[in-house]
Amino acid sequence: MNIISTGLTNFLNDKNIKLYVQDRSGVEKLTKQFKEDERSVLVGSGSFFSGFSVPGKSLISVILTKLPFPVPDDPFLELIGQGYEDEFFKMIRFPYMMNKLNQAAGRLIRDIKDFGIFTILDPRIFTKEYGKEIQADLIKQGYKITRSFEEVTQFIKHKFINGAEAQYRIYKREDIEIKQILWEKQEVVKKESIKKTYDTTTTKKIEAQNNDNGVTESQIEFAKEICKQFNIKLPSPKNKKHLIYYINI
């Protein structure tokens, strides 16, 4: 961070562009100054990966010098990675990096009127095998990947003239697919130990003594289908005599 800010100082001074650097002032003050000056540059570290929101033209470019992999000996990751030593990179380090990468990218577009460029200077996104997975994730989110500086220049010129050109997707209720079993009316079994039950338009709490009383086989199959889809184990209640299902609609 210090090397980059030092290297930028003379270049930005010649162009009369203000440079703000983390640690030279508080985060709140830096954010306010950066928002108010559309031509300014802010250099920061992980503190700005989240909780930093600057909509509008004050932020049209987010640049990462390298992929945000955690340090290899991070004690927290070592703790949660116990039992995954053989697949530590795939199961722990890489997902952690992807989460941080998406957090960084999330600083760019804060409003439907926003536009901008997310730049990753780390060549590993093109030289490593896992780089294909990173690119696929960004493309899925709507990013267009390019290594052409000319293409980037044309893009930003076009956006300054025409704006973001984004539109909200028109909401259509018929586009929402809700399985029939979610509409099935269930009988709530009253229990003396349960003081309150509820049934609102958004959440239904269904209580049953066993699978034959209040929870249908189709609902159980639906739960299994969801667990299979997301590759998770169907949880088993500690007390099988008293099952509680939460169904969000």
109-130 confidence digits (pLDDT tens) = 999 999 999 999 999 999 999 9
3-state helix, strand, coil in the chain (%, to 5): 40, 10, 50
Token pair for residue 136?
Answer: 């696929």
CATH homologous superfamily of 49-162:
P-loop containing nucleotide triphosphate hydrolases (3.40.50.300)
**CB neighbours of residue 243 within 10 Å:** 19
Q: Is 72 left (phi over 0), alpha (psi -120 to 50) or beta?
A: alpha
Listed in order, the ranges of the chain carrying CATH 3.40.50.300 are 49-162
The CA distance from 143 to 216, in Å, is 43
Judge whether 30 and 51 are in contact, CB under 8 Å. no
Helix axes 130-140, 94-105, angle to 10 degrees: 40
3-state secondary structure labels for all residues of 124-143: HHHHCCHHHHHHHHHHHCCC
The DSSP output letter for 148 is: -
Tell me the H-state helices in the chain.
Answer: 2-14, 27-36, 75-80, 88, 94-105, 124-127, 130-140, 149-162, 217-229
Tens-level pLDDT at each residue, the chain (249 residues):
889 999 999 999 999 999 999 988 888 899 999 999 999 999 998 888 888 899 999 999 999 999 999 988 889 998 988 888 889 999 999 999 999 999 999 999 999 999 999 999 999 999 999 999 999 999 999 999 999 999 999 999 999 999 999 888 888 888 887 777 777 655 554 444 444 544 444 444 444 444 444 677 888 888 888 888 878 777 665 444 444 444 443
**CB neighbours of residue 247 within 10 Å:** 15
Q: CA of 211: how far to CAs of 131, 215, 218, 221, 248, in Å?
A: 47, 5, 11, 12, 20
Q: CA of 197: how far to CAs of 5, 209, 235, 247, in Å?
A: 58, 15, 22, 14
**Residue-by-residue DSSP string for 88-119:** HIIIIIHHHHHHHHHHHHTTT--STT---EEE
Confidence (pTM)? 0.67
